Amino acid sequence: MSSMSVQDAVETLSFPYYDQGLKAVAISDRDGVTLVKCLSSTASPSILEQVLPTTFAVANAQASKLGLKKNKSIVSIFGLHQVVQLDQSPLIITMVANAHANTGALLDLGNALKEITQVIVNAMQKQQAGNGGVV
């Protein structure tokens, strides 16, 4: 996989899940800046609104304040869709799928995506450490 870009790797991993209801995958920072995005052929380009990653960051922070400790993932269902978000600080992995999609399979995909994006996390943490904690 060393010759494959992160974008290509995410697309390759996500593709088999499109038949299972996955609509989109986005990897972004906590401010909502999208680094990688993949859409199924049936997904609307607006399915990955910029507000989703920042909403996760806020919800995760609020859960911590309630004594629920740090969440690894949050699953939400909105009408016909489910949103599965995984924390890989400083990144957030967001997957949008049909409400009937297998949530466990999506969480498995998320864990595989975490492995692929670890190189980005390492680079961001290294840069942050070199800048005195400022990215």
Q: Residue 62's domain is classified under what CATH number?
A: 3.30.450.30
What confidence score (pLDDT) does residue 67 get?
Answer: 75
37 falls within a domain: yes
Structural domain includes residue 135: no
Residue 18: partners with Cβ closer than 8 Å, 6 or more residues away: 40, 41, 42
Tens-digit pLDDT profile for residues 17-54: 999 999 999 998 878 888 999 999 988 877 777 556 66
Say whether pLDDT at 1 is over 60.
no
Q: Give domain status of residue 119, yes or no.
A: yes
Within-domain flag for 78: yes
- How many domains does the chain divide into? 1
- Decide if 133 is inside a domain: no
Peptide bond into 90 cis (omega under 30): yes
Positive or negative CA dihedral for 30, 125, 70, 116?
A: positive
Q: How confident is the model at residue 133 (pLDDT cuts 50, 70, 90)?
A: low
- Residue 134: inside a domain, yes or no? no
Q: In the prediction, which pLDDT does 106 show? A: 97
Domain that holds residue 34: 6-127
Q: What's the whole-number average pLDDT of the chain? A: 85
* 3-class secondary structure, 25: strand
